[in-house]
Amino acid sequence: MNIQGQAALVTGGGSGLGEATARELARLGAKVAVLDLNMANAERVAAEIGGVAVHCNVSDADSMAQAIQTASAAHGTARILMQIAGIGTAKRVVGKDGKAAPLEEFAKVINVNLIGTYNAARLFAEACSKLDPLEDGARGVMVFTSSVAAFDGQVGQQAYSASKAGVVGMTLPMARDLAQHGIRVCTIAPGLFKTPLLASLARAGPAIVGGQHPLPRSLGQAQRICRTGLPHRAQRPPERRSHSLGRRAAHGPTLKEKNEQNRCLRRAGGVW
Ligand SMILES: NC(=O)c1ccc[n+]([C@@H]2O[C@H](COP(=O)([O-])OP(=O)(O)OC[C@H]3O[C@@H](n4cnc5c(N)ncnc54)[C@H](O)[C@@H]3O)[C@@H](O)[C@H]2O)c1
């Protein structure tokens, strides 16, 4: 997709990987709405990139719907959703005090990282599916943020890993589902990047995650996420990503599956 002039939503755009993505999208000419729970950060980033700051809680249906409406009033309906908002936690199943980890903490991480991703996706898709198709028949693209922890979780990352594995799990069915509306669905699974979230995980204890990169032996810089995560790059071959999903999950259906889908859709009078 040619990003120039397109309206884009970046959840979690006020910090870390989301902030870097919002900045890169703006540099490439997109009209960026910075959606975040932290309004002060969203306003700071939006002011610096000429975008609009919008308050949102990704895991709340009304809040997300309102945020999409507000962004749409400012920039028009978005064709790009970068779903980057997320939280982490690090808790052993049984703590040093001999007590079981609180269930609420597990539920909170699933609620933001997994249910929040689905919530943003479904509402974005509803609006995007009503847009006219572009030249290639596509209407839009959404990129979810999983994590290397989806496949290789560390001690204490039960909730985080489960939430990110859930994001991976819903990518392919959603890509298949939304193909009929011309909406691509991709997920990236970044390795370790130096952001406030990673610092909070490291402070929390058991899941000390820094310094585990075999090569290079350093944390990634947030700005580098844009080399893989943006919609016009997310189709590049897997070797361009430090931790890629399998080809099918990252790219949606194979050619053979696409042909079969096309046949089904033609029979059903679909648009793709
Ligand atoms: N930093 C890493 O090493 C790393 C690695 C893999 C994946 N990730 C994922 O990348 C994403 C961004 O992480 P980051 O490291 O930039 O973290 P970060 O803490 O710097 O940024 C996360 C942003 O999400 C916002 N947010 C949190 N809960 C929200 C909610 N309910 N609604 C709306 N906004 C909310 C926060 O206010 C914050 O601005 C997360 O999904 C994280 O799991 C990070």
Choose the weakest-confidence range: 4-18, 161-175, 181-195, 217-231.
217-231
CB of 11 closer than 6 angstroms to any ligand 1 atom: yes
Mean pLDDT calculated for residue range 59-84: 98
Where b means 16+ CB within 10 Å and e means fewer, 159-198 reads: bbbbbbbbbbebbbebbeebbebbbbbbbbbbbbbebebb
pLDDT for res 192:
86
3, 232 Cβ separation under 8 angstroms: yes
With tokens 């939280």, the residue in question is: 87
pLDDT over 70 (residue 220): yes
pLDDT for res 242:
34
Single out the residue of 106, 123, 80, 118 nearest to residue 234, CA to CA. 80
Atom of ligand 1 nearest to the CA of 193: 3
Q: What is the DSSP letter of 144?
A: E
CA 235–ligand 1 middle distance (angstroms): 23
CA distance 95 to 19: 34
CB of 112 closer than 6 angstroms to any ligand 1 atom: yes
Output the residue whose Cα is nearest ligand 1's atom 17.
197
- Mark whether 160 is an active-site residue: yes
Choose the weakest-confidence range: 76-80, 103-107, 147-151, 239-243.
239-243
Q: Which of 106, 124, 160, 272 is catalytic?
A: 160
CB of 252 closer than 6 angstroms to any ligand 1 atom: no
pLDDT over 50 (residue 24): yes
Single out the residue of 158, 127, 159, 125 nearest to residue 144, CA to CA. 125
Mean pLDDT calculated for residue range 220-237: 65
pLDDT over 70 (residue 116): yes
Average pLDDT, the chain: 84
pLDDT over 50 (residue 133): yes
pLDDT for res 264:
37
Output the residue whose Cα is nearest ligand 1's atom 16.
16
CA 229–ligand 1 middle distance (angstroms): 14
Output the residue whose Cα is nearest ligand 1's atom 31.
57
CATH no. for 7-268: 3.40.50.720
CB of 109 closer than 6 angstroms to any ligand 1 atom: no
Mean pLDDT calculated for residue range 171-183: 97
Name the pTM for this structure.
Answer: 0.84
Output the residue whose Cα is nearest ligand 1's atom 25.
12
CB of 161 closer than 6 angstroms to any ligand 1 atom: no
Atom of ligand 1 nearest to the CA of 112: 31
157, 92 Cβ separation under 8 angstroms: no
Single out the residue of 132, 136, 32 nearest to residue 80, CA to CA. 32
Where b means 16+ CB within 10 Å and e means fewer, 44-78 reads: bbbeebebbbbebbbbbeebbbbbbebbeeebebb
pLDDT over 90 (residue 48): yes
CA 85–ligand 1 middle distance (angstroms): 4
As to burial, measured by CB atoms within 10 angstroms (0-12 exposed, 13-18 middle, 19+ buried), residue 235 is: middle
| Higher-pLDDT residue of 124, 198 | 124
CB of 192 closer than 6 angstroms to any ligand 1 atom: yes
CB of 117 closer than 6 angstroms to any ligand 1 atom: no
CB of 42 closer than 6 angstroms to any ligand 1 atom: no
Domain ranges of the chain: 7-268
Which tokens in the block code for residue 56?
A: 């949102």
pLDDT over 70 (residue 201): no
